[in-house]
Amino acid sequence: MTDRRSVTPMQISARNQLEGTVGEVTHGAVMSSVTIKLPGGQELVAAITRESAEALDLAEGAPVKAVIKATEVMVATT
């Protein structure tokens, strides 16, 4: 595994980036659910592959950045 501290940060075009900390990681057979706590108290939940979650070595309290790149957003009334 590469030591992430020695890697130059990646430049990306996605403008929607939210910094936070890992609140919880729940692994399933194929997918993992990652809860990210944002500075304002909100939480964001992302579903990523278990392989990616393990490769990122995600642990509670670790600093992370959620990068959001979507082609559409759906809105529904309640």
Q: Quick one: pLDDT band at residue 8, thresholds 50, 70, 90?
A: confident
CATH number of the CATH domain containing 52: 2.40.50.100
Residues in Cβ contact with 24 at an 8 Å cutoff, skipping those fewer than 6 apart:
33, 34, 35, 60
In a domain, 59, yes or no: yes
In a domain, 10, yes or no: no
pLDDT of residue 66: 92
Q: Residue 38 CB: number of other CB atoms within 10 A?
A: 14
Q: Is the dihedral of CA 56, 39, 69, 29 positive or negative?
A: positive
Dihedrals φ, ψ of 58, to 5°? -70, 130
Give me the domain span that covers residue 36.
16-68
Count of the separate structural domains present in the chain = 1
- Find the angle CA(16)-CA(44)-CA(14) to the nearest 5 degrees: 15
In a domain, 74, yes or no: no
How much is the average pLDDT of 42-59? 94
Q: Quick one: pLDDT band at residue 5, thresholds 50, 70, 90?
A: low
Is the pLDDT reported for residue 2 higher than 70? no
In a domain, 21, yes or no: yes
In a domain, 37, yes or no: yes
In a domain, 77, yes or no: no
What pTM does this model have?
0.77
